[in-house]
Amino acid sequence: MACREAVLAKLKASEIEKFREEEEQNVEKARLAEEAALALAEVETQKAKAALEAAEMSQRLAEIETQKRKLAELKVKHEKEQRIRTLQEVVYNSIPYRRYDIKEIQVATNGFDNALKIGEGGYGPVFKGVLDHTIVAIKVLKPDLAHGERQFQQEVLILSKIRHPNMVLLLGACPEFGCLVYEHMENGSLEDRLFQKDETPPIPWKNRFKIAYEIATGLLFLHQSKPDPIVHRDMKPGNILLDKNYVSKISDVGLARLVPASIANKTTQYRMTGAAGTFCYIDPEYQQTGLLGVKSDIFSFGMILLQIITAKPPMGLSHIVEEAIKKGNFMNVLDPNVPNCPVEEALACAKLALKCIEYRKRDRPDLATVILPELNRISHIWNSDEE
């Protein structure tokens, strides 16, 4: 009997131990399940937080894009208003000009037909058209041109205030769409005629000397403008236009700058933040130092003068001409397409041009007292020889 009770007690103790172990396992499982649930909850919380941050970021980006779009719209609106203000400023000027609306411009150019395009520059395309029963040239500002707005304003402000036989005539404008209307120059640019674009005949020598004199005359007019001199900054054959009688006129004053009269003739002159102009024609001293003066245009004029007598591209032209003079074969660099070359007069022009393209402004000749008198002398000699 005692043995049986001992066995039963042992079995009961074993069951109790097994029950205890199962309970411990259940507790451990519950603990692990709770930890897993907490970890899962943390993951879900982080996911929700990340989703919220992403949503907030997306909203912020959308707000930034909206703000940028509004700023762009405001910029366009401001530029349009600025064009209108520019026009209104010059309406009260003593030299009025016509205001055109975009419909008139579209009709005049047949919807900006490429067949009527007569030129293309950094500013934009130029179309031939008819306005007020007159053939005109219409320059159209490229809509995406960042600096074009400033050039438009500068061109309107300068050309509306000046009149000269050797400056292109501004007839009107459509400021809302950046269109400028000029007199039409039948013979196009000096560049096109020198290089005989469209197989046009070469410019006679008599006309070449006259063109050089007229360019210098127009340039002097800009430099003597009151109250402040005007520096063109982009003188080149492409910006010299010729009418049907080969009268030359300076165009494209969009890069021009008014230089305070008090410093216009000083060696250390008006400092610009960035040089502007066209490679091969830009004043090297101005390009290097940012110092702008009326003699910056003299360098460009010297390059134009060399091209007038040689009809050659500007790259390395000064060196070619200088070497030809030294070696005594100057005639070889003159335009071979024009007969009866006046070597003496052309040589005088070449020597004058080489003085104009001296590196330092102070070494370049004065326009009024040296360049114009010399060109006038050359022109008179040629005319006397012809007679």
For the chain, helix (H) and strand (E) counts, in that order, are: 10, 12
**Exposed, middle or buried by CB within 10 Å (0-12, 13-18, 19+), for 341?**
middle
Q: How much is the mean pLDDT over the chain?
A: 82
Return phi, psi of residue 259, to 5°: -105, 125
User: CA 334, CA 106: separation in Å to the nearest integer?
Assistant: 44
pLDDT tens-digit profile of 96-116? 668 899 999 999 999 999 999
Q: For 16-50, what is each residue's pLDDT tens digit?
A: 777 677 777 777 777 777 777 787 877 878 887 88
pTM: predicted TM-score of the whole model, two decimal places: 0.72
Query: In this predicted model, which residue has the larger pLDDT, 219 or 76?
Result: 219
Answer left, alpha or beta for residue 31, where phi above 0 means left and psi between -120 and 50 means alpha. alpha
Minimum mean pLDDT among 229-233, 272-276, 334-338: which range? 272-276
How far is residue 53 CA from its own chain's centroid?
Answer: 44
Query: What are 322-364's pLDDT values in tens digits?
Result: 999 999 999 999 999 998 888 999 999 999 999 999 999 999 9
Lowest mean pLDDT across 53-57, 239-243, 285-289: 53-57
Could you give the residue numbers annotated as active site?
234
CB 127 within 8 A of CB 118: yes
Rounded Cα–Cα distance for residues 143 and 69 (Å): 17
pLDDT tens per residue, range 150-202: 777 777 777 777 889 999 988 988 877 888 899 999 999 999 999 999 899 99
| Residue (of 153, 152, 150, 163) closest to 96 by Cα position | 163
**All structural domains of the chain:** 98-183 (3.30.200.20), 190-386 (1.10.510.10)
Look-up: residue for tokens 């074969």?
Answer: 329
